[in-house]
Amino acid sequence: MRRKLLLGNWKMNKTSKEALTFAKQTDELVKIAKENNVDLGVAPTYLSLQIVKENVSCDMIVASQNCHFEDYGAFTGEISIPMLKDIDISWCIIGHSERRSYDNETDEKCNKKIKALFANKMVPVYCVGETLTQFENGQTKEVVERQIRIGLKDLTKDEVKNLVVAYEPVWSIGTGKNASKEIAEDVCKFIRDILCDMFGEVSEDIRILYGGSVKPDNIKQYLSCPDVDGALVGGASLNIDSYKQLLINII
Ligand code: 13P
C-alpha cells in the first residue's frame, strides 16, 4: 500500500524569515497528516532549507529543489549532496520542468543526480512531463517514456523502491489549466507500466505524483485515481491556509 504524499514546491519564493514563519505553523498539520497516513513536505529554496528543517517536526519532509551530482569542486553556484546531508536533508526534487527549460537540465544530467542521490541513501523526486506543443502533437507518452528511461537508467530495483516520480505537464504548471483526472491517471499508469518494464514488481511501491495547478478545490480528484499517489504543488503550497486545505481535502 503506497502512502499518500503531499509535497509543496516553493520554487523561488519566501525569504528565510517568511519560510520560518510558515515552518512554525506546521506542527498541527504534520500531526493530522500522520494520523491519516499522509506524508507531508515542502521544498524551500537552498537558503531556507536549514531554518525550515530545524523548525518543523522530524515527520515533515524537507526537500531540496535541486543538487549537483559531484560531491565538491569548481561548480560555482551549485550545492552538493554532502552539503544537503550535512543539514539533514534527505529528499531532493530532480528535473523540474523549470530547471529543464531555464537551466539545461537534461535527462542524462538528471540520471547522474538521481544515481548520486541513491548512492547517498536520499530520496529523489523525479519530475517528468511534456510541453504544450508536445501535448498538442500527441507526443506526451513518447516524451515521458524517454524522460523515464534515460533519467532512471542503470538504477537497481532496490534503489527505485524509494523513488518518487512526479508527472507535471508543463502546460499545466502555474497556468491554472490543470490536467483532467483522466489525463493524470492515464499518464501516471503509463509511467508505472514503464517502471514495471524496467524494474519489475517494485514499480508497485513507487509513488507517482501529479503536479500542475493543483489547488484545494481540485486536489481530491487526483488522489481518487489508482495510480496517482499524491501531489506536487507550487502556488497553492505557499500560503499556510491553502496548504492546510490541500491536506484536509485528501484525507
Ligand atoms: P503550480 O502548482 O503553481 O502549477 O506548480 C506546479 C509545480 O511546478 C510544482 O512543482
Q: What is the pLDDT of residue 243?
A: 98
User: pTM for the full model?
Assistant: 0.98
Residue nearest ligand 1's atom 2 by CA: 234
Q: What is the pLDDT of residue 1?
A: 83
Q: For residue 211, how far is its CA from the centre of ligand 1 (angstroms)?
A: 6
Domains of the chain, each with CATH number or no CATH: 4-248 (3.20.20.70)
Q: What angle do CA 64, 65, 69 make, to 5 degrees?
A: 80
- Give the bridge partners for 230, in sequence order: 5, 209
| Nine-digit cell string for 83 | 552539503
Check if 96 is active-site. Answer: yes
Q: What is the pLDDT of residue 115?
A: 98
Q: For residue 216, how far is its CA from the centre of ligand 1 (angstroms)?
A: 13
pLDDT along the chain (251 residues), means of 10: 96 98 98 98 98 98 98 98 98 98 97 98 98 98 98 98 97 95 98 98 98 98 98 98 98 95
